[in-house]
Amino acid sequence: MTTYEEIFEHNRQWVRSRTENDPHFFEKLAKDQQPDYLYIGCSDSRVPANEIMGLEPGEVFVHRNVANLVNNVDMNVMSVINYAVRHLHVKHIIVCGHYNCGGVKAAMTPQDMGLLNPWLRNIRDVYRQHAGELDALTSEHDRYDRLVELNVLEQCTNVIKTAAVQRSYNAHRFPEVHGWVFDLRNGLLKDLELNFKAKLKEIQKIYDLTAIPSQYSEEGDH
């Protein structure tokens, strides 16, 4: 186990390795960021966003929370989406869950989780919406994995509901939203192949926020 003190030595080694390969690395890193990707993932320590995507610092804007939720009353994730879309002009938004997710597992457990209850309710709502499909799976392991996938797809839908995404795509044809799952068992990413354009069209039958009346600010996102 790495000690607290060793972290700073590791940091110095990392700096040396970066500057040996590129003496101007940190000079370039200090400039304004221009990432093409917004990654919304789980806080799980086993899923490092940059590494699993093979991207360098500055190439992906990252938001993480327990079970990669996009809750419309969570000002943290809403602010991240708004900033990434309207100011960084990201081209892709990725919601990435992972198999063996502790948050999803907790949501499948029928017991009072105290402070976690309101957060986990979002995942339990996903289960409720897909109870027929999930209950038909005889293997608890398969049910667990499928709920991870369905939760990712539901959070993708929540991203698409936002005004920032709808208005940007309407004007510029980006960003597109994608749903992925990271498999801890083999290190591979699985694309859930969300049909973004079809989902956007479906969502906008009810959640169309592309036209904003003059009395409202453009920053409104719910």
pLDDT along the chain (222 residues), means of 10: 95 96 94 95 96 95 98 97 98 98 94 94 97 97 98 98 97 98 97 98 95 60 58
- Structural domain for 161, as ranges: 36-207
pLDDT of residue 207: 96
Which residues participate in catalysis according to the annotation?
42, 44, 46, 98, 101
> Does residue 200 belong to any structural domain of this protein?
yes
Between the CA of residue 186 and those of 28, 154, 156, what are the distances in Å? 34, 24, 24
> Does residue 49 belong to any structural domain of this protein?
yes
Residue 12, H or E segment: helix 4-21
pLDDT of residue 73: 95
For residue 64, the cross-strand partners are: 41
Number of domains in the chain: 1
Task: Give the CATH number for residue 77.
Answer: 3.40.1050.10
Q: How far, in Å, CA of 128 to CA of 124, rounded?
A: 6
> Does residue 10 belong to any structural domain of this protein?
no
- pTM value is 0.93
> Does residue 31 belong to any structural domain of this protein?
no
Three-state secondary structure call for residue 177: strand
- Exposure letters 101-137 (e unless 16+ CB within 10 A, then b): bebbebbbeeeeeeeeeebbebbbebbeebeeebeee
Three-state secondary structure call for residue 180: strand
